[in-house]
Amino acid sequence: MDRLDQVLDAALPLLRRVDEVLGSAGAPAGHGLWQELRRVRLLPGDAVQAVAALRPAAFADAVPELRADARACAAAAAALPGPGDWSGDAAEAYDELRHRTAAQLSGGDESLDERLEATADLAQALTDWMATARRDLAATLALVLTSGEALELSTAPAVPPEPGQVIAAADVAARVLHAIAESYIDAADLLHGSRPLATPLPM
């Protein structure tokens, strides 16, 4: 359990209230919330649940396995036996295939062990990103829970919501969505940098 898990239960009622107010009254024209909604495309409740669903440990567990597989590829490449006393065209063909297979397994930029190492690096980077995204969101939620806006929204709900409640909901939503949007920019950069991993290995 991290800090987000600890603060989430306390924050959910506030987020539900924010979503209800915005769903019924919208946000003031020109409010910064509109920009954050365009970036995240979710109301605060759903956006926070999406971050809360991130599980860094799942990626962290994959890192040592990927690195072990990379080492196994390198070991397999090194262990491919040479032709020894075998000679002739068949021996030359075998040795050429052995070198080509070893190169595919290990050593080059596009070899399997390098791909596995790069995938492990990406998994580690995503693990770190998830942990940071959760930590940053937890800090934002802790701030809004103790804010004047949260106090305003804790009063008996009016139908339709009073102007002060609408502004308070928009302010809370903007702060929460801004934190999430900034985190997802970092994730997009990571995934963009990993695009070469999606290209097939050369045969």
Q: What percent of the chain has pLDDT over 90?
A: 72
pLDDT at 203 over 60: no
Taking the C-alpha atoms of residue 4 and residue 7, their distance in angstroms, rounded to an integer, is 5
Q: What is the mean pLDDT of residues 164-175?
A: 97
> Using CA atoms, how far apart are residues 171 and 11, in angstroms rounded to an integer?
15
pLDDT (0 to 100) of residue 58: 85
> pLDDT tens, 113-134?
999 999 999 999 999 999 999 9
- What is the rounded average pLDDT of the residues 4-17? 96
Q: How far is residue 117's CA from residue 110's CA, in Å, rounded to a whole number?
A: 11
In this prediction the pTM is 0.84
Q: Return d(Cα 135, Cα 52) in angstroms, integer.
A: 10
Amino acid 52: pLDDT = 97
61-96 tens-digit pLDDT:
899 999 999 999 999 999 999 888 788 888 889 989
Give domain limits for the chain. Answer: 3-59+117-198
What does pLDDT average to over the chain?
A: 92
Identity of the amino acid at 164: G
- pLDDT score recorded for residue 35: 96
Q: Which residues of 156-192 are buried (b: 16+ CB within 10 A; e: fewer)?
A: eeeeebeeebbbbbbbbbbbbbbbbbebbeebeeeee
Distance (Å, rounded) from C-alpha 141 to C-alpha 8? 8
Quick one: average pLDDT of 44-55? 96
